[in-house]
Amino acid sequence: MNKLFYRLAITVLSIWYLCIQAMAGSFTAGKGTFLLNGEPTIIKAAELHYPRIPRPYWDQRIKMCKALGMNAVCLYVFWNSHESTPDQFDFSGQNDLREFVKLCHDNGMLVILRPGPYVCAEWEMGGLPWWLLKKKDIRLRESDQYFLERVDKFQKAVAEQVADMTIANNGPIIMIQVENEYGSYGIDKEYVGTIRDMLRKNFGPEVTLFQCDWSSNFLNNGLDDMIWTINFGTGANIDQQFAPLKKVRPNSPLMCSEFWSGWFDKWGANHETRPAADMIAGIDEMLS
């Protein structure tokens, strides 16, 4: 009787495990389209930065984006916000990355995670912690041993918060970005490859990785095993922006991973604005 019970228990557990595996989602690049769980899909992502939004408003902001017709939230992870002091990581309160991702999931929104290490985003040092500069002769965003050791610790800490929330684990995170517009900084495929390998190590081999850059420089650091996306802003000639990517990867899905509606002001220069009608026209053209 006991043997029969154990056999039944093992059978039930095996069936349960197979069901869980079958439920696991996927997000990949297909021929000319992204595939969400094997089905063609268009990603319409709103950019939301949780440290910039008072926590009580997180859920409301996500709901507003969904009401606008978005189906995903794109977010940076600001290293210097989470590790303002070396080896003291803060993912609480306003820095609660996991809770923010969970709120996206609860609202039926997919998530594109952008953990840098450099993120730009008109944020202090582009997200790099100030204390890195205490190391004499450090080379930021390069294959500097100390810099890479610190990046790896940070990426591991981020993964400990949300690695189990990727779509492969039935979570909302569909893609993770490697670095950020690195072609605007330098040419170093070895460095970009190291950041890629860190993310794969910490988030698992199933995660879909991508890198973004401008159409004029994306080939300088483009790695063959990642999705490539192009960044441009309001008023750009969209066919022209995507033309270089279509030439080298004719079957690639086309994605503008940053369609900026404005630009930052520079001291002594004019206030930068863009017409709303131009932005709407650009979005409409891409969706069409």
Q: Is 39 a catalytic residue?
A: no
CB 167 within 8 A of CB 118: no
Give me the catalytic one of 47, 258, 272, 285.
258
| Packing angle of the helix pair 145-162, 189-203 (nearest 10 deg) | 30
In angstroms, how far apart are the furthest CA atoms of the chain?
85
Within a 10 A sphere around the Cβ of 203, how many other Cβ atoms? Answer: 25
Separation of alpha carbons 182 and 279, rounded Å: 25
Q: Is 258 a catalytic residue?
A: yes
Give me the catalytic one of 181, 190, 206, 285.
181
Specify the DSSP class assigned to residue 73.
E
Element (H, E) at 62: helix 58-67
CB 196 within 8 A of CB 178: yes
Separation of alpha carbons 68 and 53, rounded Å: 18
- In sequence order, what DSSP letters do the residues of 124-182 get, joined into one string? GGGG--GGGGGSTT--TTSS-HHHHHHHHHHHHHHHHHHGGGBGGGTSSEEEEE-SSSG
Separation of alpha carbons 12 and 115, rounded Å: 39
Separation of alpha carbons 198 and 155, rounded Å: 7
Q: Write out the catalytic residue numbers.
A: 181, 258
